Every structure is written in structure tokens, then in C-alpha cells.
Structure 1
Amino acid sequence: MGFRLESVAVSASGPRPSNQDSAFAAPWGAGVADGVGGGPAGDLASAAFVHRLVAGWHQSPDAEMLTERTLLANWDIAAHAHRDPRLAGMATTFTGLFVGYRNRLLLAHIGDSRAYSLRSGTMTRMTRDDSFVQALVDGGHVRAEDAMSHPHRNLITASMSGGPDDLPLVTWVDPLHDDRWLLCSDGLTDYVDDGAVSEVLSRDDREDAASELVDLALDAGASDNVTVVVADVIASGDSPPRKTPVFVGAAARRFTLDDPFRDVAV
């Protein structure tokens, strides 16, 4: 029997005047993009990337197909900057989970947004940050438990920026029914430790879990946008899936025909 994803996405701007995070949720995939801070038009970068990536999606990809689609979405970022030089340098992270061929999942990742899996009560981090601080941790210069408070924790070393060398890491994952996944921007993981995240992620109701994770980050003093997607692996015959992707954050405000959009997608 095949499977699909049932997901809920929640995004909050927090104390910032605008939300530069984008996310989407669909039965065939889900993803989070975080416009890179310090550059121009991070909200445009994340929204443009997400919308181009999911536009017209109709098949289960293999790793090569998914990589090609991320590169096409990256070219959209380059096209915006080409049309308006003021946008040069805009970029976004991306972490996405997709239903692929032969009942497997594909995980795509670049930047410091993250993916975690929850299986049988155990949460496992499934991505490695492309960041300066992660390199310090890997080299033994910074303890992992100190990374959250490091003054340079937001300095990333890879992103989708419209450049010819931008390339996400795409890997296969073997799913089990009832697995749960968390995709999130660093607005969550910079302020809430993995133990607290795991406790909330284990709640039965995925919508409550997603909303509470965002609230935890805001209550912890998050100075960034906070976006989470909680996705459950469900047997495909259980119930009819929602076919149209739902967007939150910047992607709910840009490149959409329906207005207004809620900032919660089930």
C-alpha cells in the first residue's frame, strides 16, 4: 500500500515587521523556506522559490527530478534579480519532504532550516545546517549545546540565491506509516531546544503540536520569523487527500490567486 502526507503548517512573523518565511503543505510534499536575513527581499526569494517548485506538480519524483525542479525554482530567483538589480543577493534556505517513487520519501535541504523525524517516540535530526557555527561544531571548536546561543549562529554557508552553483542535498528516506516529520525555520530551533521540541511533537494532534511549537519559540523570545510544518505519513487509502497545496507565510501573500490566505494550513 502507498502513502501520502497529512500536514499542517503554521507561520508567524514574531516581532519582525514582515514575514520572510514561506511554507507549503500538500499530500505529495511539504517544505519550509526562510528568506536570508541581511539580504534584499528575503520574502520574495522564499515565496518565489516555493511557488515555482510546487507549480504543476503531478508526479512522484526521483532524486534527479527533484534536483531539477529545485534548480528551476532557483532560476526564478535569478530572473527576479536580473529584472531588478536592487534585488541582487536575495536568497532563501529550503528544506522539503516529498513522496517519491516506490513508496519512499525524498528529503531536500540547503541552509539552516531543519527536518526532524519522530518514530516510535524518538526524534532524530535529519539535516545538517549549512552554517558557520555548524562547521565550528563539526570541527570541535564549539559544543553542540552552545550552538543555539552563538553570536554567529545565523551565518549560513549555502542557500538558493539564483547562482549557478546552488545545489541542495537530496537524499532518500525509507518511511514507516505513522512516522511524523517536523520541518522548521531557525526561528524555532534557535530558541527551543530539541528536548522541548520532541515533547511537543509527540502530541497526538498535529495542528496543536504545530501551533504550540510556534508559541514556544515566541514565548522564548524569538526575534525572528517562526515557521513549522508537522507532517504525518499516512496510508494512502485512509481518506481522500487535499489536492491543492496550501501556502503560509510570505508565500501566502505573493504569487497566489486566492486572497486572503490563512496563516494556518491543514
Structure 2
Amino acid sequence: MKADSAVQRGLLDLAEADAELTRIDHRRRTAPELAEIADAEKAVQARRDARVAVQTQADDLDREAAKQEKEIDAVRAREDRDRKLLDGGAGARQVADLEHELASLIKRKAALEDDLLELMERREAVEADCQHTAVELEKAEAALADVRARHQENLADLDTQQARREAERATRAATFPEALLALYERKRAAKGIGAALLRARRCGACRLELDRRVMSTIKDTAPDEVVECEECGVILVRTPESGL
């Protein structure tokens, strides 16, 4: 394939635009914020799990306290009933039974109230844990929101760079003969790089130094003839730096 040497040199600008687009894509895929976001999401989930665990513990204590209060109310009701019976003039045998039951009820009520007090103290401590886990969750969510916002800002910047580069590339690509551009695109699709500078006998794509035989062949090739690297196959662009 033939193309004016100046046109061939223009492929280097196109290759640089493509390289920059590749770098932009790489920065998008490997943005440091991605790892930060993953860590922040794990932190948020851990705080949520901790909050759920503490809240579950609080709910269990609330249910247990409610059950304890209900039992205390039942004992008090039985105690009130027995006292009314005593005050109503029960017989001697019944009085003895009621007094014995009242003594048991008072003892039972005291034990239940002690247990309830202990539950309330535990509930108070758990409530402090609930507040602490809520604060920690809020902090974790704020940190996650912050890193996501930074990531979106960086993505927006990359999108701007990409759009600018793509526009520049489209303008450059339109200046090349159709056949040469098609060859370049095939090389780029297969190798990742479509064209590279031949500098000091070294291919700018694969970085390998060409042997004397190849260099001699290239030197004897007409300037408007498109040559390719024997090692990696990309289009080799010749300039005074090529060492021919």
C-alpha cells in the first residue's frame, strides 16, 4: 500500500489520540476511588449489621420487659384480690391460706421487680449501643457518599477528556485515505496499536530492535510505501529519527 510519507507521519497523531483514549479508559476502570468505594460499602454494611444486631437485642429486651411487667401486673391483681378477701372478713382457715398466698405473692413480686429492674438497666446500656451504632452508621454512609461523589466528579472529568479526544480523533481520521485508515484500524483492533514510530532501529510498539537485514530492506523501500514491523505487525512510520 502506498501513502505519502507526510500522511503516514500523521498516523502517529492518530495513534497518540488512541493511546490517550486507552489511558482514559484504563483510568476509568482502575480509578482508586473504586477500591475506596468497595471498602466504604463494606464498612457501611458492617455498621448496618451491627445496628441490626443491637436493635434486635433491644427489641428482645423490650419484649422480655413487657412480659415481666405483665406478670407483675398479674401478681399485683392477685395480691389486691387476696387483700380484698381479707378485708371482707374471711374465715380463719381462709385467712391463713390468704396470708400464706399473700406472702408468696409479695416475694414473687419483689423477685419479678428485681428482674425487671435488671432488664431496664440492660436496656439502657443497649440503648446507648443503639445510639452509638446509629452514629457510626451515619459516619460510614457519609464517607461512602463522599467517595462516590469524588468518583463521579473524576468520571465526569474523564468523560470530558474522552469526548474532546474522540472529537479530535474523528477530525484526524477524516484526513486519511480510506484504505490507509482501514489498515490502521485493523492493526489497532488486532494489536492494540495501529501505528508506531521507528526510532533508532526500534519499533515504538513492541520496543524490539530490528536487525540489520530488516533495516536495510526498510531503507530501500520507497518513502510512500507503507511498511510494517516484522515482529508485531503494526504500521512503522519512518522519520529522520528512524536511523535509516
Normalising to structure 1: TM-score of the pair? 0.18
Q: Which structure features the higher share of strand residues? A: 1
- Bigger radius of gyration: 2
Normalising to structure 2: TM-score of the pair? 0.19
